[in-house]
Structure 1
Amino acid sequence: MTPLLRIHHAAIICSDYARSKRFYTEVLGLKMLAENYRQARDSWKLDLALPDGGQVELFSFKGAPARPSYPEAQGLRHLAFAVNDVDAWQAHLASHGIAVETIRTDEYTGQRFVFFADPDGLPLELYEVPAQSTSPST
């Protein structure tokens, strides 16, 4: 059997498609790959590119229930993005009026990270990595 290569995508269901689309494209700067309205589901699906080839899929579903608790609900705890400068990203998010927690240091790796939330309260993390570590490994 061949090994898993990397995460291909993370799928997110949002409550307000237009608001979340602006957040992920304009604030986080993800590039749109495809946007499709699915008539049978009365739902939008937006495919967004991450620099390493991974993707974020953004869905809208009418009547989707809210997340039951934050952040300790079962399931996906948070989605983390690698960045080279946590301080710059923290300032960027704050300039867009986004509440950002205090920068922490990973007790095992010594790397710095910070948490914030998307428009629906989905916990997101920015994890600082050395510049050479941003490309996918082979």
Structure 2
Amino acid sequence: MKIERLHHIAIICSDYEKSKRFYTEVLGFEISHEVYRAERDSYKLDLSLNGVYLIELFSFPNPPQRVSRPEATGLRHISFGVNDVDGTRDFLASRGVDSEPVRIDEFTGKRFTFFSDPDNLPIEIYEI
């Protein structure tokens, strides 16, 4: 087996319009494709960043809550590389998104912090 790269991350949200706005208007993802699947009462939104397809955002009626904090088995967080951690934190704050204090990765010396999407999914911004 030879995996070439990550294909996408699938996220189920509780409020489709709120999450759609967050991922497009706050985080800057572009909509590649959007479809409503009537048989499942579900939207599927394909999102790209810099021309690269990365996220599938799904809505489903009454999805169960996911335990994400404290640490739980499963997806821990998603992480996006940024050149300016402080500038990104400032931008997020200007959009009403709180982030944790900046930390330093003890192994790489790079700066990073976390914030959450509308469903409290942890998202990391990591200095590249």
Same fold, judged at TM 0.5 (above): yes
Distance 1:88 1:30, change over 3 A: same
* Number of equivalent positions: 128
Which residue does the alignment assign to 1:96?
Answer: 95
Unaligned runs of 5+ in 1: 130-138
CA deviations 1:64-119 (Å, max 9, x no partner) are 11112414111000000111111111000011111100011100011111100000
Distance, in Å, in 2 between the alignment partners of 1:52 and 1:115 is 24
RMSD: 1.2
Distance, in Å, in 2 between the alignment partners of 1:67 and 1:47 is 22
Unaligned runs of 5+ in 2: none
Asked whether the 8 Å contact 2:28–2:49 carries over to 1, the reply is no
**Bigger mean CA deviation after superposition, 87-96 or 44-53:** 44-53
SS at match of 2:4: coil
SS at match of 1:24: helix
CA deviations 1:15-63 (Å, max 9, x no partner) are 0000000000000000100000001100000000023724111000111
How many Å apart are 1:126 and its aligned residue?
0.4
The residue type equivalent to 1:128 in the other structure is E
Which residue does the alignment assign to 1:60?
Answer: 59
Name the TM-score, length of structure 2 as normaliser.
0.95
The residue type equivalent to 1:18 in the other structure is E
Deviating runs (4+, > 6 A) in structure 1?
none
Identical counterparts, % of pairs: 59
Structure 1 segment 49-128 matched on structure 2, within 5 A? 49-51=48-50, 53-128=52-127
Q: Decide which structure has greater strand share.
A: 2
Name the TM-score, length of structure 1 as normaliser.
0.89
Asked whether the 8 Å contact 2:47–2:55 carries over to 1, the reply is yes
The residue type equivalent to 2:33 in the other structure is A
The residue type equivalent to 1:37 in the other structure is Y
How many Å apart are 1:7 and its aligned residue?
0.7
